[in-house]
Each structure stands twice: as C-alpha cells, then as structure tokens.
Amino acid sequence: MNASGPSSVGLASVGLDRLLKPRSIAIVGVSREGAVAGKMGGSAVLDSLLRGGYRGSLHLVHPDAPQIDGRQSWPSVSALPETPDLVVASLPATRIPDLAAECGARGVGAMVIISAGFSELGTEQGRNLEDQLRRAANGAGVRLCGPNGLGFVNVSDGGHFENVAAGVARSALPLGSRGLRQTGRPKTLAIANQELLLLQRV
C-alpha cells in the first residue's frame, strides 16, 4: 500500500479514518455489468465490498449508466447526493489527476487508486502524471492509497470486514496483493505489508 504522507498544510488536518474506516464509499470506474468477482477494477471492488458486508453508504459513478446492478449510478463525484469519505478510482491514468482535484473540491477525505500508468512505468509521462496527482491531492487535502495498488483489507469492530481490495474475496486473499489488515480486538494489532501471503497466516 502506498499512502501519501502529510506533505501540505491541507493534508495535515486529514485523519486516516476516512481512508481506513470510511462511512461512505464511491466507486468511480464500475463497468455496466456491475459487481464481478475475480477481475480487476471498480467492478471487483464493488463485488468485494458486497461480499464483505460493508455497512456504510455505497455510491457508484458512471458517466452514462443511470443504474448498475439495480443501484442508482451518478455521472460524477460532484453529482453525488452526499460527500463520500473515500473514493475508489479505476480509470485511465490520464484522468486521475483531474478526478483527484474534483474529489478535493467536493471535500472527499481519501482516495484508493487502482489505476496503473504512473511512475512505476519508468517513463517521463508516468512520472509527470504522478506529480500532477500528488499536487492535486496534497493541495486539496486528500489522502492517497496508490496509485497502481489493490487497496486494503480492514477487519475491526468484532470482525466487521471492510474490503476495498480489488478482486479479493473474504476467504481468498491472492498472492501479490498489497494491503493493510487489522486483526483481533479493535486497536489490538495492525499490520502493513506489500504481500498478503503473510496476512493470510496471521
């Protein structure tokens, strides 16, 4: 998990609860087919959250589909009926910096960015996109998990499962995933690890 630190005054005032324990989540980049297990992207995140029994408000964002899986969808983050704590983004990398700015303007606290195509490519374009993303998020006080990640898994409050890891089912955490998982009683133990193989054994 790659979580940007408080490198600006705006970020310093934003806690981690809106990232790790969001009361409301918006998914940007869900396909028209809705929740799909075993795939990457917004549809996999939706499937993970539904399977995990997420109990907060869940909003879908799609520019053209008014409904997805029988749920109302909204054309943009700005059009949502409430400001989500967390936005999960699975869009082309070139659209992510503008989305981060939109989230900041709306008052969103954090983003999980599944999208690849940033500095991990080792190209000037990828580095420039990541710089744009960092500036947009830091300037608006939006915490980042990503880009090019699978999100996190957080177990708390007596075993309540909050799963924002793309393509990760409750009983099967795949190798190579990146995440954070909390086990035991709330605030008892937290483990941050790049490979979820260790977390499967805890």
Q: What are residue 38's phi and psi, to 5 degrees?
A: 80, 5
Give the type of residue at 176.
G
Residue among 136, 152, 160 nearest 16 (CA): 152
pLDDT of residue 30: 86
Q: What global pTM score does this model have?
A: 0.77
Which residue, among 45, 8, 44, has the nearest Cα to 143 in the 3D structure? 8
The residue-averaged pLDDT of 101-109 equals 96
pLDDT attached to residue 182 = 43
Query: What Å distances lie between residue 191 and 36, 77, 79, 130, CA to CA?
Result: 28, 31, 36, 26
The chain-wide mean pLDDT, for the chain, equals 77
Measured between alpha carbons, how far is 193 from 152 in angstroms, rounded to an integer?
Answer: 10
184 vs 95, higher pLDDT: 95
Convert the pLDDT of each residue in 41-83 to its tens digit.
788 888 888 887 888 999 999 999 888 888 899 999 999 999 9
- Confidence (pLDDT) at 166: 59
Q: Which domains does the chain have, with CATH numbers?
A: 9-145 (3.40.50.720), 153-201 (no CATH)
Query: Does an H or E element contain 87, and which?
Result: strand 86-89
Residue 173 is encoded by which pair of tokens?
């955490």
* Structure confidence by residue, pLDDT tens digits, 125-166: 999 999 999 999 999 899 999 998 877 877 665 444 566 765
Which two tokens mark 95?
A: 């659209």
3-state secondary structure of 111: strand
